[in-house]
Amino acid sequence: MSETDTRKVRFGSAVRWATVMSWGQDGLSAVTTFVLALILGPDDFGVVVVALTFVGLIELFVSQGFVGAIVQRRELDEIDLDSIFWITVVLGLVLTLGGVAAGGFVAGFFEDPRLAPLVQALSLCVLIRGLTVVQEAKLTREMDFRSLAVRTNFSVIAGAIVGIALAIGDAGVWALAGQSLARGVAGLVVLWRAARWTPKLRVHAAHTREIVVFSIKYFPATLFDYLGSQAEPLIIGKFFGAQAVGIYRLVMRLLELVITVVTRALWYVAFPYFAEAKGDIAKLRTRVSDCLRYSALCSLPVLAILGLESPTLVHLLGPKWAQATDVVRILCVYGALRSLTLFVGPLLLALGRPQAFSVVMGAQVFILCAAFGAAGVFLSSAEMQAQVSGIAWARVGVYAAVFLPVAIWVMVRYSGASFFSLGAAVLPGIAVAASVAAVQMGLEPVTRWAGAPPLVGFAVRMAAVGVVCGLAVFAADTSVRTAVGRMFQPKLAVPAGGTQAGEP
C-alpha cells in the first residue's frame, strides 16, 4: 500500500471513530438533555445552565492550551507529559477550591440562591478535568479516536442513567448536576485505562517550556471561543431570567446536536490532518477545500430541514417550550454560517499560529458580547419570545457581518486556496439544501390537506427528504459517486497462486 493510500485509510478510520465520539459526546448527551428538559421545564434547566457555564469557564484555566500544544508538537517525551500532568492537577485543585468559594458570589450576582450549592458541587468537575487533560491530548495526538469514542460514549451513558434517575425521583436541578458529575467520573476512569500511560512524580521545566509557551499563546483563543459560545446564558440570565436561559439553551443544544452529528468529526480530525500537511501548500489547500466541501454538504441540507420542521419538533417537547419555534429557525441560519467557519481554528493552530487565532476569536467575542449586551438592554421590557429571538438575531448578525468574511480571508491567506475554489467547495451543499427544502415545502401542504396526524406527516416528509437528499448528494459530489462506483465495481477473479492483471 502506498503512502497516500495509507494516509487515506488512517484519515478515514480517524473520521469514523471521531464521528462515533461526537455522536456520543453531543448526540447521546443532547437526547438525555431533551428527556430531562421534558421532565424539569425551562426554569430548572436554565439555573443549571448558568451554573455549568460558570464552572466551565473555570475549567478552561486548567486545560489552557495544553491539548493543542501537545498535539502540534513534533517531538514529545514522557517527561513532558509527566510535567504537564502535575501542573494541570495542581491547577485543578486550586481552581476547584476557588469555585467552591465563589458559589455565594454567583448566587448573589444572578439573584438566585439555588446557584450557590450547585456551583460548589459542580466545581468538582474542575479537578476531574485536571486529571484528564494530558491523557486526552496524548490520544488525540496519536489520532486514537477509537479510545476517545469509548470513553465518551461510556461517560455519557453513565451520566444519562444518573440524571434521568434523579429527575424521575423529583430531584429538580440536582438531576442535571448529577448527570454532569457522573459523566465526569466515568470519563476519568475510562480515559486513564485507555491512555496506556501512568504519570511519574517528576516535573522538568526545561522540557515543558515550549509547551507551556504555546499553551499560553493558545489559551486566549480557547477562552474567547468559550466566551463566544457561552456568553448568552450569562447575559440572558442577568437581563431576562432563568426561564429565558432555559429556552435559548435548549435550542442551542438542539442546534449543536445537528452540527455535531454531521460535522464535528471533521472538526476533531482537521487539526492533526492539517498539521500533517504543514509545509506542503498544495496538499494543505486540497485538505482545507475537502473539509469545507464535506462540512457544507453534510450540514446545510440538515439545517434547512430543521428550520422548516421546527414547529413539529418543538411541539414534541410540550406546550411549555412553545416559544422556542422562532428561535430554532433563527439559529439554523447561524448554524449554516458556523459550518463554513469551522476550520479556521484547526488551520491556524496546525500552522503554529495560536496568536492569530487568539486575535480572531478575541475580536469576535468582543463584538458578540457588545451585541448581546445591547440586545439585553434594548429588550429588557419586551416579551420573553422577543427577548430570546433578539439574542439569536444578534449572534446571526455578528457571524454574517464579521466572522464569515474573516474566516474566508484566513483560509485564502494561509491555505493558498482562492475565493472561487472555496465557493466551488460550498456549492454542492447549497444545491442539496435547496433540493430537500423544495421537497419539504411541497409535501407539507399535501400532508396537511390529507389530514395526516402531525407525526405521520412528519415521518412521510422525512422519508421523502431522505431519498431526495441521498440522490442529490450523489449527483452533486464527485467523490461520493466515485466511492459508490467502487462499491459496485466487479472484482477480477484471481487464480490460485496468481495475481490480478496489472499487479506485480
* Cβ proximity of 440 and 462 under 8 Å: no
CB within 8 A of 456, min separation 6: which ones?
Answer: 447
Q: What is the DSSP string of 329-387?
A: HHHHHHHHHHHTSTTHHHHHHHTT-HHHHHHHHHHHHHHHHHHHHHHHHHTTTS-HHHH
Question: Which amino acid is present at 263?
Answer: T
Tens-digit pLDDT string for the chain (504 aa): 554 545 554 555 655 666 666 666 666 777 787 788 778 777 787 888 888 888 888 888 887 667 767 776 667 778 878 888 888 888 889 999 999 999 999 888 888 898 999 999 999 999 998 898 888 888 877 777 777 778 878 888 899 899 999 988 888 889 988 998 998 999 898 888 887 788 888 777 766 777 777 777 767 767 777 776 677 787 888 888 777 888 888 888 778 777 766 776 677 678 778 887 877 888 888 888 888 888 888 888 888 888 888 887 777 776 777 778 888 889 899 989 988 888 888 888 888 887 788 788 788 888 888 888 888 888 888 888 888 888 889 989 988 988 899 889 989 888 888 888 888 888 888 888 888 888 888 888 888 787 777 778 778 888 887 787 777 776 666 655 454 444 344 443 333 333 332 322
Q: Residue 214 in contact with residue 354, Cβ under 8 Å?
A: yes
Please report, for the chain, the start and end positions of each structural domain, with discontinuous segments joined by +. Answer: 17-203, 219-486
Closest CA to 125 of 78, 192, 188, 50: 188
- Are 177 and 44 in contact by the 8 Å Cβ rule? The answer is no
Instruction: Give the integer Cα–Cα distance in Å for 419 and 436.
Output: 26
Consecutive H or E run containing 398: helix 384-398
CA distances, 31 to each of 49, 156, 157, 213 (Å): 16, 10, 11, 39
pTM above 0.75, yes or no: no
| Side-chain half-sphere CA neighbours of 95 within 13 A | 25
Total Cβ atoms within 10 A of residue 383: 10
Question: CA-to-CA distance for 61 and 55, rounded, in angstroms?
Answer: 11
DSSP state of 131: T
Phi first, then psi: what are they for 348, rounded to 5°? -65, -40
Please name the residues in contact with 23: beta carbons below 8 A apart, sequence gap of 6 or more: 260, 261
Compute the mean pLDDT over every residue in the chain, rounded to the nearest whole number. Answer: 79
Provide the total of helices (H) and of strands (E) in the chain, helices listed first. Answer: 23, 0
User: How many Å apart are CA 175 and CA 452, to the nearest integer?
Assistant: 37
Question: Closest Cα partner for 294 from 26, 486, 6, 18?
Answer: 18
Q: Using CA atoms, how far apart are residues 153 and 401, in angstroms rounded to an integer?
A: 37
| CA distances (Å), origin 225, targets 57, 218, 230 | 11, 11, 9
- Helical residues (DSSP H) of 73-143, grouped into ranges: 78-109, 115-122, 124-130, 133-141
**pLDDT given for residue 490 in this prediction:** 45
Contact assessment for residue 130 and residue 59, using Cβ atoms and an 8 Å cutoff: no
Residues 6+ apart with CB under 8 A from 137: 66, 67, 69, 70, 71
Torsion of Cα atoms, 304 then 309 then 311 then 312, to 10°: -150
CB atoms within 10 A of CB 408: 18
Number of residues written out for the chain? 504
Residue with cell 468582543: 366
Q: Which three cell numbers stand for residue 173?
A: 436541578
Which residues lie closer than 8 Å to 404 by C-beta, 6 or more apart?
Answer: 337, 340, 341
**pLDDT value at position 501?**
29
Rg of the chain, C-alpha, whole Å: 24
Residues 6+ apart with CB under 8 A from 344: 357, 360, 406, 407, 410, 411
Q: Which three cell numbers stand for residue 249?
A: 439553551
Per the CB < 8 A criterion, the answer to whether 276 and 4 are in contact is no
